[in-house]
Chains A and B, each alone.
Chain A
Amino acid sequence: MNDPINVSLGERVISNDPNDILVAYGLGSCLGISMVEPTRRWCGMIHCVLPQRNNGTEVDSPKFVDSGIEGLLKEMVKRGCDPHRLVIRMAGGANMLLASGVSTTFDIGTRNIESALNTFQRLGLNLKAKEVGGNLGRTVRLYVADARMTVRILNGKELEL
């Protein structure tokens, strides 16, 4: 097994090396979105920070949910993956200030989730599984070897998504 590959804020990582594990550590309001093409074994993950790109700039940037999904899809297709066979999963989008009563106006988590669902619909993509919302941070792992995606919360076990 290789060392886990950190999919850091605003990054996209794609791999077909069965020894690779892609990890997004401590997702709060951010979203970890993964795409897997079962026949070709390509696995990709993005770590998105904000719901929407700024007016058309930063095309395909993984920093934003909408451009991030478009960019990941493009890269998967470029590698010969069939968009209709993609297994798509996502986790994150927590409202970290939910319990505090400080403010709901900054609920970026919920807006990230909405943006992702809209983008999937617009692009005709099917979401297979999600573990989103709430007010707890999550670490997400994608195992290239068997395409397993797991979610773990603080002091919790790794649970398969």
Chain B
Amino acid sequence: MDEQSLPNFDKALMTTLQEVAGAGIHNAARGFSNLVGHQISVNQPQVKVVPLLEIPRHVGGLENEAIGIYLRAEGDISVQIMLIIPYAKALLLVDLLMDVAPGTTTQLGSLERSALGEVGNMTASFFMNAVANMTGTSVRPTPPAVMVDMVGAILDIIIATSGSISENVILMQANFADGERSLATDFWVIPDALTLKLFKSTEDSARNE
């Protein structure tokens, strides 16, 4: 990765984020297992920093149909979390969560939407808990908003609230697995400048100890 172009994300910070993401997603997988009553495992998530405007390339283009699950974390730090899942993949995720054969879910009614909202809720909560533990801060996520729309329109939420189109965001890729079935999902975490600073100071004090 070209660190020159990403002044806010140095290698040490990336290591910290990788740890936070790893802890958060493993907790989330435990939460999902409890929710659905069968074991769902998750691999070590990959963490990358990518420009905001690259998101559409990962989810199939600006006009592509996708599910957006959006939460904000409020408290000592402020983070936006967005899960963007291509529509077809979201249906498979619902199948996985509901423990039915792949292809069973063909549309997203209110039950399916709330299941997806729960995915966002849990992922965000566990991620935020990991952040809180690591930084000694207190944060809580807002209830999730679930929407089905074009990728571009979903992205506008992040762009409008962060007020910037040149920003870099954190991409976490995790693979949820239930026996032989597995599903790769992408999460986007958009921390504000203050939060990044906090991550940085945590990582600095860890280095000095």
Q: Which residues of chain B come closer than 8 Å to A49, judged between CB atoms?
A: 156, 159-160, 165
B177 is an interface residue with CB less than 8 A from chain A: no
B62 is an interface residue with CB less than 8 A from chain A: yes
**Once bound together, how far apart are the Cα atoms of A26 and B55, in whole Å?**
13
A137 is an interface residue with CB less than 8 A from chain B: yes
Assess the A108–B160 pair: CB atoms within 8 A. Answer: yes
Assess the A102–B143 pair: CB atoms within 8 A. Answer: yes
Given contacts A50-B160, A102-B70, contact A155 B152 (CB under 8 A): no
Q: Which residue of A lies closest to B156 (CB)?
A: A28
Q: Among B70, B149, B154, which residue has the most Cβ atoms of chain A within 10 A?
A: B149
User: Which B residues contact A (CB, under 8 angstroms)?
Assistant: 53, 61-63, 65, 68, 70, 72, 142-157, 159-161, 163, 165
Q: Per a CB cutoff under 8 Å, which of B53, B63, B143, B163 touches A9?
A: B53
Assess the A97–B148 pair: CB atoms within 8 A. Answer: no
Assess the B154–A96 pair: CB atoms within 8 A. Answer: yes
A149 is an interface residue with CB less than 8 A from chain B: no
Q: State the majority secondary structure of interface residues on B.
A: mixed
Assess the B160–A27 pair: CB atoms within 8 A. Answer: no
Q: Which residues of chain A come closer than 8 Å to B63, judged between CB atoms?
A: 25-26, 139
Q: Which residues of chain B come closer than 8 Å to A94, judged between CB atoms?
A: 153
Q: Per a CB cutoff under 8 Å, which of A99, A102, A108, A137 touches B152?
A: A137
**Once bound together, how far apart are the Cα atoms of A125 and B172, in whole Å?**
46
Q: Within the complex, what minimum Cβ distance (angstroms) separates A115 from chain B?
A: 13
How many inter-chain contacts with C-beta < 8 Å in the A-B complex?
97
Q: Per a CB cutoff under 8 Å, which of A9, A102, A136 touches B159?
A: A9
Q: Which residue of B lies closest to A6 (CB)?
A: B62
Q: Which residues of chain B come closer than 8 Å to A106, judged between CB atoms?
A: 157, 160-161
Interface string of A5-39 (1 = CB under 8 A from B): 00011100000000000000111111000000000
Q: Which residues of chain B come closer than 8 Å to A155, judged between CB atoms?
A: 65
7 A-B pairs whose Cβ atoms sit less than 8 Å apart in the complex: A9-B159, A26-B149, A26-B154, A28-B154, A96-B156, A154-B65, A155-B65
Q: Which residues of chain B come closer than 8 Å to A102, judged between CB atoms?
A: 70, 72, 142-143, 145
Q: A26-B63, A96-B147 are in contact. List 9 more A-B contacts (CB 8 A).
A: A27-B153, A28-B155, A28-B160, A30-B156, A49-B159, A97-B70, A102-B72, A137-B153, A154-B149
Q: Which residue of A lies closest to B69 (CB)?
A: A100
**Once bound together, how far apart are the Cα atoms of A106 and B72, in whole Å?**
12
Q: Within the complex, what minimum Cβ distance (angstroms) separates B15 from chain A?
A: 31
Assess the A9–B165 pair: CB atoms within 8 A. Answer: yes
**Once bound together, how far apart are the Cα atoms of A109 and B163, in whole Å?**
13
Q: Which residues of chain A come closer than 8 Å to B72, judged between CB atoms?
A: 102
Assess the B165–A63 pair: CB atoms within 8 A. Answer: yes
The 10 closest A-B pairs by CB, nearest first: A26-B152, A137-B153, A28-B156, A100-B145, A28-B153, A26-B150, A25-B62, A108-B160, A137-B150, A26-B62
